[in-house]
Structure 1
């Protein structure tokens, strides 16, 4: 059998000739429909803190009427007590009257503080809405009003002195509402955001460690609730809220609403997949794994508190995410797992 031989198909006398190149044929359509992919410039709904819901008219009527009845009952009881004390001995009556006067003064002081605390929370919510509206409309006047109110809130804080001075120096040179709000966020909010993240990380570490060493599940639940309440109050005070008793309950309700809306009460599948993908299921014990999960739940509470209490929306600064705290918690759990 002969071996195959390759022979040229072009003869030598025609190899130097320039080959004929045929121009490509183009298709000219009669009509062109242009479609643009819609771009949604609004932030994700899951990252926006929901506004606090106002109580209905019937709810306000119920609270007002019950407050009047309780006050009337307490007043009649105090009057009967003072009369009985005067009937028993005059000096006992005067002592009881003095104690009652001190109690009334203390109640008035506490009520005044609660009113100012609720007013401060309402002011922070109004500032956030005004800042978002000034950024959307590029309203210079509204943006300057927001910055002036924000400077007034932080006027008595020494840790914000340098930031206030920077804002005051650059504010006269800005004429866009977006730039004015961005200036306030970069100088006033960025340091507070960093400290709030530090508080959240420290609280999550404590929860993870206590969960890993506690012998009872009831202790875990109690400590998680305690740390969540403590963390929410610390973040609120950091941003200038200073909630009292009723203000703190209002803040807690808003945080829980935010967690429910954003799915924060349960871990998402993506977060669980990320934990499993890092090999934690094979490296950590069951208690350490529970500590990491409880720590992440505390992180969600801290993030929700930041988004609810922060007086400016997240525009130039990145929003805090749960995944930002995962490496630190996993490292902490891995170190505890390696420890004897």
Structure 2
């Protein structure tokens, strides 16, 4: 009889070690695959990082920060006191020298004071308009989840004055006594506000297409930046007026700073190609020339800026299907550039 121990030829293979080795190799493959996916997704998302950050800056333009630093207020107050004291001292000195010269000083100061009062009043109205729209959006967010009846019609009263009287009458006729606040706002969004949004979309598409054509036809990078600046400023101004919002001096300065930062976008050839390829695909991009691709980039930027401004100006806080709206604008810009290049 042979010894049973001699029958065990070779080394035993532990089944636990086999089970541990296979998942480790699979996990390594998964990690490599996830790394590749992350790297490709980061490449697409990196193109829009700048524009997303700039959208946040634009949001601060329409929603100004109410917290003022004490040092700034003290400095401003000291400056006002200094200017007033200097003006009074100058008037007294002028009167002691000549009544005619003193009268001229008083006339100039009076005109300057009137202009300052008008400016401050206009700025107050602009800030009040922005504040009112911000409060309306907050109230609308609350009413969209409300099951009560009656408050939505009071909220809509100032907005209905901006619409066509015939459309307002048709809208009021569709409101029933049993409609809740949420149903009334949804009805308003699907009728009157939808018409207003379509008009705003047409404004955005027109400005974006014009911006794209100007950049595509421009022979100089400086003209590219000026075109983007001009169309961007005019677009936001027109959208704010379309939704009944006044932009004051403070908001305009913030807006101009924002657009000056974004003008660099029009002259960056790398971002041009990446953004256009991400939006339209490499196959469609290959049909455009280098200048047309830059024009497409500038048009996409103008459209993104417009839709962000539109979202902030609307009385209802959320703009539904914004990616689809942007895609539609991109297709229109692409068709305009493609027809020009033929």
TM over 0.5, shorter chain: yes
Q: Match for residue 272 of structure 1?
A: 277
**Higher helix proportion (structure 1 or 2):** 2
Per the alignment, do residues 225 and 50 of structure 1 end up closer, same or farther by CA in structure 2, a change over 3 Å counting? closer
Q: 1:175 deviation in Å? A: 2.4
Q: Match for residue 125 of structure 1?
A: 134
Q: 1:284 deviation in Å? A: 1.5
Per the alignment, do residues 169 and 133 of structure 1 end up closer, same or farther by CA in structure 2, a change over 3 Å counting? same
Would you say the 8 A contact 1:140–1:180 is kept in 2? no
> Aligned pair 1:209/2:213, yes or no?
yes
Q: Match for residue 294 of structure 2?
A: 290
1:169 to 144, 168, 173: 173
Correspondence list, 1:122-161, <5 A: 122-151=131-160, 155=161, 157=162, 160-161=164-165
Separation (CA, whole Å) in 2 of partners of 1:186 and 1:234 = 23
Correspondence list, 1:211-290, <5 A: 211-249=215-253, 272-281=277-286, 283-290=287-294
Separation (CA, whole Å) in 2 of partners of 1:250 and 1:294 = 21
Q: Match for residue 54 of structure 1?
A: 65
Q: Deviation per CA, 1:276-321, whole angstroms, max 9, x where unpaired?
A: 344222x211111100111100000000000111111347x65463
Would you say the 8 A contact 1:208–1:291 is kept in 2? yes
Q: 1:208 deviation in Å? A: 1.1
Would you say the 8 A contact 1:86–1:92 is kept in 2? yes
Correspondence list, 1:18-97, <5 A: 52=63, 54-56=65-67, 59-97=68-106
Separation (CA, whole Å) in 1 of partners of 2:140 and 2:256 = 23
4+ residue segments displaced more than 4 Å: 46-51, 249-256, 266-271
Separation (CA, whole Å) in 1 of partners of 2:327 and 2:128 = 34
229-238 vs 141-150, which moves further: 141-150
Would you say the 8 A contact 1:292–1:330 is kept in 2? yes
Would you say the 8 A contact 2:95–2:102 is kept in 1? yes
Unaligned runs of 5+ in 2: 1-51, 261-270
Q: Any idea what SS the aligned residue of 2:310 has?
A: helix
Separation (CA, whole Å) in 2 of partners of 1:219 and 1:85 = 50
Would you say the 8 A contact 1:199–1:231 is kept in 2? yes
Separation (CA, whole Å) in 2 of partners of 1:203 and 1:238 = 14
Separation (CA, whole Å) in 1 of partners of 2:109 and 2:210 = 44
Q: Deviation per CA, 1:159-188, whole angstroms, max 9, x where unpaired?
A: 532233233333453421111101222333
How many residues align structurally? 275
Q: 1:269 deviation in Å? A: 6.9
1:186 to 190, 208, 217: 190
Q: Any idea what SS the aligned residue of 1:136 has?
A: coil
Q: Match for residue 116 of structure 1?
A: 125
Q: Any idea what SS the aligned residue of 2:91 has?
A: helix
Calculate the TM-score normalised by the size of structure 2: 0.71
Would you say the 8 A contact 1:134–1:140 is kept in 2? no
Separation (CA, whole Å) in 2 of partners of 1:66 and 1:221 = 36
Calculate the TM-score normalised by the size of structure 1: 0.71
Q: Deviation per CA, 1:214-239, whole angstroms, max 9, x where unpaired?
A: 22212211221221111111101100
Separation (CA, whole Å) in 1 of partners of 2:257 and 2:172 = 36
Correspondence list, 1:294-313, <5 A: 294-313=298-317
Would you say the 8 A contact 1:255–1:301 is kept in 2? no
Q: 1:323 deviation in Å? A: 0.5
Unaligned runs of 5+ in 1: 1-45, 257-265
Would you say the 8 A contact 2:232–2:305 is kept in 1? yes
Separation (CA, whole Å) in 2 of partners of 1:227 and 1:288 = 17
